[in-house]
Amino acid sequence: MAQESPTFSPLYRQIKTLIVQGLENGEWRPGEAIPSESDLAVRFNVSQGTVRKAIDEMAAENLVVRRQGKGTYVATHSDPRAFFRFLRLVPLSGEVEPSISVPLECWRAKAGPEAAKTLQINIGEPIIIVRRLLQFSGKPVVVDEIYLPGDVFTGLTLDVLKDYQGSLYSLFESRFGVRMIHAEERIRAVAADRVSADLLGVAEGAPLLSVERVSLTYGDKPVEWRRGLYCTAEHCYLNELS
């Protein structure tokens, strides 16, 4: 017999979708607590265990953070613990150190075929391009070129970038309401071009890590495309396989 319920979705997943919608709609903002499991159970008219399973999945996806005895909180990029979730660069030896972002340029352009395809917008639609440097203990280690859809990031200027203290994603979250929740990186080794070599203080042609990232927000909608060149003379990209 044919499959009876091709679109079967368990109750806890429907509940999860509802709670995620609450996050999307801003019903609960980053850093805030969502209602308790029993409150949500009453609200959605299901058992507490079902709400729990929904939140379990959300916690596994880093959408939300549980704190025993306190509550469940909406994940935020302002949380220092989230800093190294997307930047997997660690020193070859020594302690993990915080990075400083140095914005270089910020200009507007129209999306070319590649940017349009990656950001899932139409060719010719406005985009914003940011170039910035990442420094560890004063030394430049990464140069990033970041492509953003212009309609979402209206008002983003070099001055805004320079004024902000904290990570880029933290700015995107608090200023533009855009939360990166997932990303895919493609890593290659390339030879440093003249400009990047100068910025990173290495010889032209030196090997660099090219890290191309597409960041997604709710519903797997792409909202950032960036290409970083990482100098791995004193740092390395750390990845856990499991």
Task: Write out the residues near a copy of itself by the rule CB under 8 A.
Answer: 60-62, 85-86, 88, 181-191, 205-209, 212-213, 230, 232, 236-242
User: Does 31 engage in binding with DNA (CB under 7 A)?
Assistant: no
C-alpha to C-alpha distance for 154 and 92, rounded to whole angstroms: 39
Minimum CB distance to a copy of itself smaller for 26 or for 207: 207
Instruction: Say whether residue 48 binds DNA (CB under 7 A).
Output: yes
Handedness of CA 203, 209, 210, 215 (dihedral sign): negative
Which of 22, 28, 31, 47 is close enough to bind DNA by CB under 7 A?
47
Residue 52 engages DNA in binding (rule: CB under 7 A): yes
Rule CB under 7 A: is residue 36 a binding residue for DNA?
yes
Measured in whole angstroms, the distance separating CA 168 from the mean position of its chain's CA atoms is 9
Output 33 or 236, the one with its CB closest to a copy of itself.
236
- Using CB under 7 A, which of 12, 136, 169, 230 touches DNA? 12
Instruction: Tell the smallest beta-carbon distance from residue 173 to DNA (Å).
Output: 22
One-letter amino acid of 240: E
Pair of tokens at residue 183 = 């990303």
What single DSSP character describes residue 93? S
28 touches DNA (CB under 7 A): no
Among 25, 60, 67, 92, binds DNA (CB under 7 A): 67
C-alpha closest to that of 44 among 78, 5, 13, 75:
13
**Binding partner of 122, given DNA, a copy of itself, none, CB within 5-8 angstroms per partner class:** none
**Distance from C-alpha of 185 to C-alpha of 168, rounded to nearest angstrom:** 17
- Quick check: 68 binds DNA (CB under 7 A)? yes
Return the amino acid letter for 73.
Answer: Y
First and final CA of the chain: distance in angstroms?
38
> Residue 236's binding partner, choosing from DNA, a copy of itself, none, with beta-carbon cut-off 5 to 8 A by kind?
a copy of itself
**C-beta of residue 216 within 8 angstroms of C-beta of residue 222:** yes
Q: Could you say whether residue 239 binds DNA (CB under 7 A)?
A: no
Under rule CB under 7 A, how many of the chain's residues touch DNA?
A: 27
Helical ranges in 78-225 per DSSP H: 83-86, 113-119, 158-163, 168-176, 194-200
Q: Which residues bind DNA (CB under 7 A)?
A: 3-5, 8, 10-13, 34, 36-39, 46-50, 52-53, 66-72
